[in-house]
Amino acid sequence: MKLGISSCLIGNLCRYDGAHSKDAFVYNILQKYFEIVPYCPEDMIFGSPRETIRLVRNGDDIKVTTSDGSKDVTKQLDDISVFCAQKIAKDDICGFILKSKSPTCGMERVKVYQEKNAPSIKEGVGLFTKRIKEFYPYLPVEEEGRLNDPWLKENFLMQVFAYKDLHEFLKNKPTKGELVEFHSSYKYLIYAKSQKFYKELGNIVANHEKKHLEEILDEYRENFLKAISEKSSIKKTFNVLLHIFGYFKKHILKEEKELLLLTMDEYKDGIVPLITIVKMFNIFINRYDIEYLKKQKFLNPYPQELALRSDLKAFK
């Protein structure tokens, strides 16, 4: 499983000043779970250290120049960005973490300088990032700074692992029955993202129009990737918890039912983290041997050691 990373974030000395921007979460945590593939388009063409570059407003367009304005490097940087973006598919990347504020890798709010001595405006997107989004509109992409937000971090990593699962599933040329099984395992995770896509994916799998398998798989891929790119919320997640609760509510003791419902309400009110409910659910799922729920990716979307569901702020 490979994760693309702006090279400076893992400690490589490729910044304009010859330094790095090592990120603790990327370097210390994510390297345990992913094969890291570093990218730095600027370093590839300009080396390090190098002149700083900036995005500059040019009428309706934005160009890239050296900071003193003496050189226009837009074409050079765009050409190498296209090369690196094309390499992402060859490298089998399932997600990408970019360096924030960079004129090459920034995902949002990158400074754009005005030509006539006006203040810069944080309205830009890095050239490499633009090309990534153009080539792979549903590839999970985040900036390292935004991953300090537990909610964005949880959503991003859930998306990455689901993206990887789908990619590996389709690579093995699945049968219709295997598609049904795959979709069933993602039922509640998709529901927690989007009821709209949940219905659309269900219709695709049902195949009432009797389409060929290749066409079904293409449609399923696009809509699945759209679905997992949606952000979850406490409200949507709570609805999924109610659905799962329905599988064993008639079997458990009255006191267990009351405690579970109370704890679910506490999750909805932001008092307890989601992992508390999941652990309680697993007790009953194992007690009553509910195979369908054991296979649900919603209950186990990524390695537990990441502890993403232990943070109250991971849901809003």
Q: What's the pLDDT at 114?
A: 87
For every residue of 261-288, DSSP letters joined together read HHHHHHHHTTSS-HHHHHHHHHHHHHHT
Calpha distance 8→314 (Å, rounded): 27
* Tokens linked to 209: 């129009």
DSSP β-ladder status, 53-58 and 121-124 = unpaired
Of 92, 124, 99, the residue nearest 40 (C-alpha): 99
Largest pairwise CA distance in the chain: 76
Q: What's the pLDDT at 247?
A: 95
Q: What's the pLDDT at 1?
A: 84
Residue spans of the chain under pLDDT 50: none
Q: What's the pLDDT at 205?
A: 97
Q: Which residue reads 């790119």 in tokens?
A: 229
In the β-sheet with 53-58, what is the strand arrangement from edge to edge? 61-66, 53-58, 110-113, 121-124
3-state secondary structure of 79: helix
Q: What's the pLDDT at 281?
A: 97
Calpha distance 160→33 (Å, rounded): 11
DSSP β-ladder status, 110-113 and 53-58 = parallel
Of 236, 200, 194, the residue nearest 221 (C-alpha): 200
Q: What's the pLDDT at 116?
A: 72
- Which parts of the chain are beta strand (E)? 2-6, 35-39, 53-58, 61-66, 93-98, 110-113, 121-124, 141-143
Q: Which amino acid is at 54?
A: R
Q: Which long-range contacts (CB under 8 A, 24 or more apart) does 121-130 make?
A: 121/57, 124/55, 124/62, 126/98, 126/102, 127/41, 127/64, 127/74, 127/77, 127/78, 127/81, 127/103, 128/39, 128/41, 128/77, 128/81, 128/84, 128/85, 128/98, 128/104, 129/98, 129/104, 129/105, 130/81
pLDDT for 195-239, tens place per residue?
Answer: 999 999 999 999 999 999 999 999 999 999 999 999 999 999 999
In the β-sheet with 35-39, what is the strand arrangement from edge to edge? 35-39, 2-6, 93-98, 141-143
Q: What's the pLDDT at 18?
A: 95
pLDDT for 64-103, tens place per residue?
Answer: 999 888 899 999 999 999 999 999 999 999 999 999 999 9
